[in-house]
Structure 1
Amino acid sequence: MSVRPLVLVIAPGDEEYRGYCLEQVADAYDVAVITTGPLTWETPYVVDHETVGDFDDVDGLIAAAAAVAGRRPIAGVLTWNESHLTAVARLAEHLGLAVTSVESVLTCRGKAAGRAAFARHGVPSARSVTATSLDEALAVADEIGFPVVVKPAAVGGSIGVIKAETREDLAAAYAFAARGVQLHGGDNASVLVEEYLDGEEVSVECVTVQGVTTAVAVTRKELGAQPLFEEVGHTLTAGDPLLETVAPIAAAAVKATGVTGGIQHVEMRLTATGPRVIEVNGRIGGDWIGWAVWRATGLSLPRIAADIATGTAPDLAPTRGQSVAIKVLYAPESGTLTKRSIVPGFAETAGWVHGPAWLMNVGDQALLPPDGDLDSSRVGLFATYADTLDLAVARRTATANHITVTTSGPGPSTGDGVRQAARTRPGRPALPGRRRRPAVGNRTPAERVPLAGRPPAAQPRRPADLPRPAGRTPPVARSGPAVVDPSPPRPDRGGVVEGELRRPHAGRDHRCGHRHLHHRRRIQSNHPSRRPRTGRVGGVAEHRLRVA
């Protein structure tokens, strides 16, 4: 019999999203799992298994855990599934293995309770009020002041979260949030109306041991166009200097919730008045953020979670210093998924691509927001990594240009991914549906226009180690090294696309001490042969290249 402690994992999830979590726990511990069906992908990582009909049935979980414990002692209990945190906390408490209280988990799960806790402890956040009807929502929004954010009180994944710019938008926004509650449930069936926080959104990945919280990484988020808040990408760098600023606020937020142990994913916005907390999630971040922390720093959050669950002191010393860029692939429009692929051999040859992992199969129906949500609109995701953030983002763009995602439609919703869906305000008619050619980043190599056939402004330099598809003509040589601007792209305005190449002013520094970039080209045509290489996937622009 193995001498390694046994960790009980409830709801391990699917292999595409959470497979790395189970694998990393199994590297250090023996693992038993509780699922709702027979084992599939989990088999190589587990030594014992029980089933339940419903993960939220605490009595059923207790009975299944008792069956496992009858064969071998359980050293720790954990889950990384947001929906089942409360039930698992009750199970851990019953087994005498709790690392935090059920009340603290409920505070994290209930956004209103979390906001109230932040206010009591002086943690900078947003004003938030519960509304049980549209009339209440209107009264609250008038008091807070527009724009406001309307969201379900206890549903994760940005489901049902929407911005209302004006009073006229609020009725449709309230209905959208209420629909998120109805479809995805949660510990609280109410809707929140909140102050809108303007600024970059980040998440702070934290580890809490016996009430002491350590921030180990900060993830910079890339969002789709408003009024929705769909996460379309993430970047994470070991030793990001921003961590020093946000770590104390994240730790204060965790303490305010009463959490004393485990992993926390703390979301906040960097406003003009400083970082302000959106919420504390008592689990490992989604979209491979936990994997990104491991790839960039060497710290395995699933392994650390198991250490904490078993009472073992985790080692929080980073062993790596890299950067990771993640891209979420959305369907180009609602309809039937007809193709999703990556050029054969590209990822293997590159050696710095993780994935892609496909969340939909050909023939599945894709439904984009606002009619759908992340479960119905996301086709897959992938990540790239490098020693620098610029190179990781450039590699992400190169990978996106080797991926094809197409749908035949239109379906119930129209638009090219998050950008199109978000252009339609709540309560206003959607644009007429039409079948579109795949966006730039979704085209096959044969469909793409060679760089040599594009105007000079659309020919950015490439880092030397990025593989170039066969037959593609190298770009015209230009002076100055190519660097990547990882900031989110500006949306197209009135058919005018901003050119992405800018040159230093005569190679001299400006008086302010910065390289003065000018000669920005404006390309008046939207024809594919005249578009700058923005590397679009599913209608979402990737990044800008510039010569510095």
Structure 2
Amino acid sequence: MTSSHGTLLLVGAVEDTVRKAKALGLRVLLLQHPTKMTSAQQDLADVVRIVDYTDWSAVEPLVRQLWHDPGFDAALSLTEPGLEPAGRINDRYDLGGTGYEVAHLLRDKWAMRRHLAAAGVPSVAAAPLTERADLDRFGAEHGAFIVKPVDGTASFGVFLVRGPQDADEVWARVQKLRGKRTDRGSTLFLIQDFIMEQYVDGPELSVECFSFAGRHVVVAVTEKFVAPGFAEVGHVVPARLPHADQEAARRYVRRFLAAVGLRDGVSHTEMRIGPDGPVVIESHNRIAGDAIPELVEGAYGVDLTTYALGWPFGLVPELSGRPRERAAACTRFLVAEPGRIGSVEGVEDAGRLPDVLTVRMSAHPGDVIRELRDNWDRLGLVAVTAPDPESAIRRGAAVLREHIRVRTVSHGGRPGIAQVAVVDPAVEQHSDVVEARA
């Protein structure tokens, strides 16, 4: 396709993002991190510059050159480490997209909490964690609370402090993580600062939204299944929440996005429904991970990636309101006890099934399996569609059990098979889901 609809500067991207931008007829200038570059991206993009795009001092001169030749009409990132650099580019060249201040508010959870308090938006008590005594002071005032990185993702480094008995262990783990990388497969983030937040006990969900010049359209409410260590082990769209809770979540996210100043583009906002109603956990001006965009498209027919790429150029129609549900969709994850991956089989066969949206495996032969603490410890996922959420939950587990086999060896030398993480025992037959296949 000849690019004729404008030029887009992408700050970081996966292959699918570049391909969809090209399908829209856009010329693509790609700034890609050296650890993320692929031959497919190189072939698809019109111009590629390899740079650590988290380093503005390295990015700024490259962007200045691209602005003069060949020029670009919009700057965008749909990947977490590219959001703030894209915001700086939008500000520098007055492109009209989301600027640095908004991107930073969403990345920096302490800045976000202070901003919400000033704006009168319901939130939770929060404070920075700088010394061991902070844990005791915060717990004495607020009871159970969460400790997490100020700008982390994927549930990495998230700890629940139930009481004083947990404080020493959590402090030791925080100290161990400072200065470490968040993603075991890349090198884009360093963990430095931590925040304490009052714990909210209630259903967890995310709201997938698209904003059109300040009009925030809730596309989907996603029900989330979270393991005891906060790793996410499943998602289902639409969420099986009472109507009143879903409406409260929709109202809250519109108020939240207006308060932080997001006016255009896609957003992914995680929240919990507590005793006093919805409260934000974190939010991002990008698409969700874990194949949630595939769930949204499967359930509602809305491709959020294409919308994000096309909206700055007027290439997608503005949604008048909430899209009509046409199916349900679910992601299910494989997990295993600590050890090592022996073999992975059946991925291609599973991907060809008519009700399977995608199959993604992070497990490869020889990889080390870690205790399930965050999203990086999962082994893979399948996303499926079905007529209703309960059927989608069961079908996702069935695809993993019947078509994908990940053989493992535990640290004790025992052979085994990776298992489907249990999400809802009330829906799925527990023994069928977790029993290892012979």
Between the aligned partners of 1:533 and 1:300, the Cα distance in structure 2 is 33
Structure having the higher Rg: 1
Counting matched residue pairs gives 422
CA gap of 1:123–1:177, structure 2 versus 1, over 3 A, is farther
- CA offsets per residue over residues 457-513 of structure 1, 9 Å max, x none? xxxxxxxxxxxxxxxxxxxxxxxxxxxxx97238xxxxxxxx978xxxxxxxxxxxx
1:170 paired residue number: 167
Indicate the larger mover: 320-329 or 129-138.
320-329
Between the aligned partners of 1:268 and 1:295, the Cα distance in structure 2 is 23
The alignment status of 1:532 with 2:428, answered yes or no, reads no
Between the aligned partners of 2:237 and 2:299, the Cα distance in structure 1 is 7
The alignment status of 1:394 with 2:394, answered yes or no, reads yes
Between the aligned partners of 2:124 and 2:230, the Cα distance in structure 1 is 16
1:288 paired residue number: 291
Q: Is the 8 A contact 2:146 2:158 kept in 1?
A: yes
Indicate the larger mover: 357-366 or 310-319.
310-319
Between the aligned partners of 2:240 and 2:370, the Cα distance in structure 1 is 38
**Helix, strand or coil at the partner of 1:129:** strand
Q: Which amino acid aligns with 2:3?
A: S
Q: Is the 8 A contact 2:223 2:238 kept in 1?
A: no
Q: Is the 8 A contact 2:223 2:239 kept in 1?
A: no
Shift of 1:238: 8.9
Q: Is the 8 A contact 1:8 1:76 kept in 2?
A: yes
Q: Which amino acid aligns with 1:533?
A: D
Shift of 1:233: 0.9
Shift of 1:340: 2.0
CA gap of 1:500–1:189, structure 2 versus 1, over 3 A, is closer
Q: Is the 8 A contact 1:25 1:306 kept in 2?
A: yes
CA gap of 1:435–1:138, structure 2 versus 1, over 3 A, is farther
Shift of 1:67: 4.1
CA gap of 1:345–1:209, structure 2 versus 1, over 3 A, is closer
1:7 paired residue number: 8
1:24 maps to which of 12, 20, 24: 20
Query: Normalising by structure 2, what TM-score?
Result: 0.87
CA gap of 1:319–1:56, structure 2 versus 1, over 3 A, is same
1:321 paired residue number: 326
The alignment status of 1:353 with 2:371, answered yes or no, reads no
Shift of 1:272: 2.8
Between the aligned partners of 1:138 and 1:316, the Cα distance in structure 2 is 48
Q: Is the 8 A contact 1:217 1:239 kept in 2?
A: no
Shift of 1:181: 4.3
Shift of 1:23: 3.2
1:213 maps to which of 199, 211, 216: 216
The alignment status of 1:142 with 2:143, answered yes or no, reads no
Between the aligned partners of 1:301 and 1:125, the Cα distance in structure 2 is 27
Q: Is the 8 A contact 2:147 2:161 kept in 1?
A: yes
**Helix, strand or coil at the partner of 2:4:** coil
Between the aligned partners of 2:219 and 2:210, the Cα distance in structure 1 is 7
Between the aligned partners of 2:312 and 2:179, the Cα distance in structure 1 is 33
Q: Is the 8 A contact 1:154 1:187 kept in 2?
A: no
Shift of 1:301: 1.3
2:119 paired residue number: 121
- CA offsets per residue over residues 111-164 of structure 1, 9 Å max, x none? 11111222222322221111101112221111111x211111111111111112
The alignment status of 1:58 with 2:62, answered yes or no, reads no
Between the aligned partners of 1:179 and 1:311, the Cα distance in structure 2 is 48
**Helix, strand or coil at the partner of 2:151:** coil
Between the aligned partners of 2:148 and 2:350, the Cα distance in structure 1 is 40
Shift of 1:61: 2.2
The alignment status of 1:438 with 2:417, answered yes or no, reads yes
CA gap of 1:296–1:117, structure 2 versus 1, over 3 A, is same
Between the aligned partners of 2:46 and 2:248, the Cα distance in structure 1 is 43
Q: Which amino acid aligns with 2:331?
A: I
Q: Is the 8 A contact 1:206 1:214 kept in 2?
A: yes
Q: Which amino acid aligns with 1:256?
A: A
CA gap of 1:103–1:367, structure 2 versus 1, over 3 A, is same
Shift of 1:71: 4.4
1:341 maps to which of 341, 345, 358: 345
The alignment status of 1:49 with 2:54, answered yes or no, reads no
CA gap of 1:310–1:134, structure 2 versus 1, over 3 A, is farther
**Helix, strand or coil at the partner of 2:133:** helix
Shift of 1:74: 1.1
Q: Is the 8 A contact 1:141 1:193 kept in 2?
A: no
CA gap of 1:281–1:500, structure 2 versus 1, over 3 A, is closer
The alignment status of 1:151 with 2:148, answered yes or no, reads yes
Between the aligned partners of 1:334 and 1:299, the Cα distance in structure 2 is 38
Q: Is the 8 A contact 2:210 2:216 kept in 1?
A: yes
Between the aligned partners of 2:327 and 2:177, the Cα distance in structure 1 is 37
Between the aligned partners of 2:149 and 2:292, the Cα distance in structure 1 is 23
Shift of 1:57: 1.9
Between the aligned partners of 2:354 and 2:152, the Cα distance in structure 1 is 37
1:99 paired residue number: 97
Between the aligned partners of 2:286 and 2:190, the Cα distance in structure 1 is 16
Q: Is the 8 A contact 2:77 2:83 kept in 1?
A: yes
Q: Which amino acid aligns with 1:407?
A: T
1:542 paired residue number: none
Between the aligned partners of 2:334 and 2:428, the Cα distance in structure 1 is 23
Shift of 1:220: 0.5
Shift of 1:380: 1.7
Between the aligned partners of 1:500 and 1:357, the Cα distance in structure 2 is 22
CA gap of 1:344–1:96, structure 2 versus 1, over 3 A, is closer
- CA offsets per residue over residues 276-307 of structure 1, 9 Å max, x none? 22122221111111222122211121122123
